[in-house]
Amino acid sequence: MRNRIFYLIITAVLSLIMVMGIYEFSKSPKLPENGFVRIFPPHVLSEFKIMPITNNTNLIGYVGDDIYMHNAGISMAYSVYSTTDHETRSIPINLLYKGKIAWKLLKMKVCDSGIFMAEGISPNIFFTPFSSQSLKRIAGVYPGFMNLYPIDSTCVILKTYDPEKQQSILLKYNLHSNKVINSPGLLKKQVDGIFCTEGDLVYDPMYKRFIYLYRYRNEFFTMNTDLQLLGTGHTIDNIQNVRIAVGSYKRNNQVKTTLSSPNKVVNVRGQVSRNNLFVQSAIRASNEMPRTFQNNTVVDIYSLQSNTYLYSFYIPEYKDQNVRDFIIIADYLVVLYEDHLIRYSMNLL
């Protein structure tokens, strides 16, 4: 009889603990589990150095050991951060062009020989070599584009809209001869052709190639600078099809397309270093705790030689600030927060 009472008490206590555990778990933010696990080797990030920066600063690329930054509130200047001596210098530039410019859409990019500023509405493409501080407009600009990705001072990759195919496409544009290399089959349409093909295009200067990382699906591909496909790969989550809903509205007698529901971001951004692709993921793995995932930024590493997953690591928050961007140079991971730049030392396997 005593044993029976004892077992009943133990059962009741265990049931109460289980109920309390379920209640506590129910209060945690719900993040999807997608049937995959991540590998987290220890001590990928070690020593770090911190540098205060102004708000609204963006990373615009790197050349050698230097990272280039641009502050949206100070359009006519850029900053150069040296990863070797951990110092920053500001460089003013001039823009003497008097024609029409969509100033709010003007974006700055860097290549190995100078600085681009471009917007695809007017459209305008400006360039200055590092030896000068004067931006000059390039004549014969391609009519209308969404994004510009420089290869060098003479050639760029443009993302534009193809009305016949009703989707975004990539093309190579020679700024001197105005020659266009079109490759309409690279971006794969799933829904609307615009939002469903959104992604990051990252240049790999070591191998002279580009990697396109889709934002809303688990896919990326590599191509050479003539837009010839080199290979494809998948991120480790299982979201093969975009999960977005698209709507439309009329403005100035034109039909505009927009996202009509919260979108399901899969890959936030990507970077390339030493034949590896580094992907900031928005999807939690089955072996990650929700709170750990929420309070850190997870980065997955893929081999571009085999297009396979290697392992992952976390970038921590800094003063409750999330990661806004990052660049990898040699053994350094340079992370942009809201008002700080942090250089971490990396210990890759």
pLDDT in tens, 214-257: 999 999 999 999 999 999 999 999 999 998 877 666 676 665 66
Mean pLDDT value across residues 60-69: 95
> Which of 234, 244, 184 lies closest to 214 in space, CA to CA?
234
Asked whether 326 and 342 are in contact (CB, 8 A), the reply is no
Q: φ, ψ for residue 290 (rounded to 5)?
A: -55, -45
Enumerate residues 6+ apart whose C-beta is below 8 A from 112. 63, 152, 205
Say how far apart CA 347 and CA 349 lie, in whole Å.
7
Let me know if residue 169 belongs to a domain: yes
Domain with 311, as residue range(s), is 30-346
Asked whether 117 and 97 are in contact (CB, 8 A), the reply is no
Let me know if residue 19 belongs to a domain: no
Q: How many helices (H) and strands (E) does the chain have?
A: 2, 27
Q: φ, ψ for residue 96 (rounded to 5)?
A: -95, 0
139 — pLDDT class (breaks 50, 70, 90)? confident
pLDDT in tens, 111-132: 999 999 999 999 999 999 999 9
Enumerate residues 6+ apart whose C-beta is below 8 A from 119. 101, 102, 103, 105, 106, 107
Q: Which whole-number Å values give the CA distances from 33 to 40, 235, 238, 251, in the listed order?
A: 17, 15, 10, 40
Mean pLDDT value across residues 135-144: 87
Q: Which whole-number Å values give the CA distances from 84 to 97, 100, 131, 158, 329, in the listed order?
A: 36, 40, 22, 32, 10
The token duo for 104 is 């709010």
> Which of 109, 149, 150, 115 lies closest to 130 in space, CA to CA?
115
Confidence (pLDDT) at 74: 77
Let me know if residue 17 belongs to a domain: no
Let me know if residue 3 belongs to a domain: no
CATH number at residue 120: 2.120.10.30
Mean pLDDT value across residues 169-176: 94
Let me know if residue 264 belongs to a domain: yes
Let me know if residue 15 belongs to a domain: no
Mean pLDDT value across residues 197-215: 95
Asked whether 187 and 194 are in contact (CB, 8 A), the reply is no
Confidence (pLDDT) at 45: 95
Domain count, the chain: 1
Let me know if residue 6 belongs to a domain: no
Let me know if residue 283 belongs to a domain: yes
Mean pLDDT value across residues 182-197: 91
- pLDDT for residue 31 is more than 50: no
Enter the pTM of the model: 0.86
- pLDDT for residue 5 is more than 60: no
3-state secondary structure of 51: strand
